[in-house]
């Protein structure tokens, strides 16, 4: 099946959802006025201060050890605008095979550009600064929700893109999107990329409250499924869950481009954002340890993830815990384990257990008390070590009252609207 007949989605809210939320939140225009970094003098501090996770993860300390230099990340998305202040000099368009380079730098949504900036943005002119600011981006545009039929037919096939990346020297593939069905050719391409030593990250999806579909490619073997957490380490209420959730990363209240006009940033939330942060985290570790394999990089991130449950009993909501690359980088002699041992061997062998491959997953039953302490958005808050994401109060606080786990509600709702990404 061709890529044009199966568009991937990045979970933008439906028109009805937007209207319902507009009733209790200000307009996107208002958000642009607040977060329009790079557009006026003095806007620098305003936008970059919104990147709360940089201080939480102690990015400045990590950058003394690693900035992602020497690592290339393929952003497979809606395209990447290489002319933004943050991405000038960061996007390697020339490395995209000609046959697959259809408007790779023409981002028709603003989504791919936002993901690229979260990974490797320089922060120039007050724009978003990436967690791995010296990594490089190789852009690929695929058919996603929002692309008209004529353009969709010209977009390269997703499986072909993955195989092309696999044959390059790109180390990490960022896929901030979901597909509700399992396709054999994509699964085969993922397997091929795995055999070529690539590390792949994908969002688990943003529909937990309504459908909780199995989110591919996150659910494929050898793809790291990433859930979204807020600044307190709490899983987002929208973040889809299941046994294919491997790690969690910051994914709420993060500034990304409002739309394809690139005129300002809006606060956003979603597993797309979390995926980009996870990819950037891997880039930092791989840059510091260029001789490590994908297994070793991933294994180190899993072993050092913040959690208050047993290492061999991952959470349905947060997987092995909140990603903490600093815990790897702060030890020059960190032992990553065997180069050829898959840290997700059990999950990759078992596959998705919540439903048969390719069919919508039925919502999981109410979690037990034990599961609530491992990430359930409806349970009581359970504090883990205080140093989960970075410092003091940002611990693994998993499970929190629904009123606190906002999807644009609570205190933030009356201040600004959010873009679900």
Q: Mean pLDDT across the chain, nearest whole number?
A: 79
Q: What is the mean pLDDT of residues 100-124?
A: 96
β pairing state of 223-229 and 199-203: parallel
Ordered domains of the chain (ranges, CATH): 3-420 (3.40.50.200)
Indicate whether 411 pLDDT > 50.
no
Least-confidence region, from 8-22, 161-175, 185-199, 292-306: 8-22
Indicate whether 173 pLDDT > 90.
yes
- Convert the pLDDT of each residue in 301-329 to its tens digit: 999 999 999 999 999 999 999 999 999 99
Q: What is the mean pLDDT of residues 2-15?
A: 41
Work out the number of other CB atoms within 10 angstroms of the CB of residue 388. 28
Tell me what pLDDT residue 342 has. 97
Indicate whether 396 pLDDT > 80.
no
d(CA 353, CA 338): 27
d(CA 85, CA 39): 10
Q: How far is CA 388 from the centre of its chain?
A: 18
Q: Per the omega criterion (within 30 degrees of 0), is the bond before 217 cis?
A: yes
- Residues, the chain: 421
Indicate whether 116 pLDDT > 70.
yes
Tell me what pLDDT residue 350 has. 81
Which residues are marked as active site?
Answer: 77, 111, 272
Q: What is the mean pLDDT of residues 233-246?
A: 95
Tell me what pLDDT residue 223 has. 98
């Amino acid at each position: 099946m061709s890529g044009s007949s199966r568009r991937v989605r990045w979970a933008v809210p439906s028109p009805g959802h937007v209207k319902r939320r507009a009733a209790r939140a200000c307009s996107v225009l208002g958000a642009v006025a607040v977060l329009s970094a790079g557009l006026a003098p003095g806007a620098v501090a305003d936008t970059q201060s919104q990147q709360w996770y940089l201080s939480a993860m102690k990015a400045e300390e990590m950058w003394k050890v690693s900035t992602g230099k020497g690592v290339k990340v393929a952003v497979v998305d809606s395209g990447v605008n290489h002319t933004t202040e943050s991405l000038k000099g960061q996007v390697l368009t020339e490395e995209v095979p000609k046959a697959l380079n259809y408007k790779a730098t023409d981002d028709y949504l603003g989504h791919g550009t936002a993901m690229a900036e979260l990974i490797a943005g320089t922060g120039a002119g007050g724009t978003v600064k990436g967690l791995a600011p010296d990594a490089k981006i190789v852009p690929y545009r695929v058919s996603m929700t929002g692309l008209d039929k004529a353009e969709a037919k010209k977009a390269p096939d997703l499986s072909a893109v993955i195989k092309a990346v696999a044959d390059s020297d790109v180390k990490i593939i960022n896929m901030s999107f979901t597909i509700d069905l399992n396709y054999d050719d994509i699964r085969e391409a993922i397997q091929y990329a795995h055999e070529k030593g690539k590390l792949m990250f994908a969002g688990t999806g943003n529909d937990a409250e309504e459908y909780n579909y199995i989110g591919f490619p996150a659910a494929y073997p050898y793809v790291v499924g990433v859930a979204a957490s807020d600044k307190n380490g709490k899983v987002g209420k929208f973040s889809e869950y299941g046994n294919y959730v491997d790690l969690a990363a910051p994914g709420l209240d993060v500034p990304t481009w409002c739309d394809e006009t690139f005129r300002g940033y809006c606060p956003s939330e979603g597993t797309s954002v979390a995926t980009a942060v996870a990819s950037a985290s891997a880039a930092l570790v791989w840059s510091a340890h260029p001789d490590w394999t994908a297994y070793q990089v991933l294994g180190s991130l899993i072993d050092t993830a913040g959690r208050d449950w047993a290492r061999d009993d991952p959470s349905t909501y947060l997987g092995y815990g909140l990603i903490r690359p600093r815990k790897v980088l702060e030890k020059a002699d960190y032992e990553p384990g065997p180069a050829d041992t898959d840290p997700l061997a059990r999950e990759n062998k078992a596959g998705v257990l919540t439903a048969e491959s390719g069919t919508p997953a039925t919502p999981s039953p109410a979690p037990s008390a034990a599961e609530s302490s491992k990430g359930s958005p409806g349970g009581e808050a359970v504090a883990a070590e205080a140093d989960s994401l970075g410092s003091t109060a940002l611990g693994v606080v998993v499970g929190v009252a629904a009123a606190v786990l906002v999807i644009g509600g609570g205190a933030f709702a009356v201040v600004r609207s959010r873009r679900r990404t």
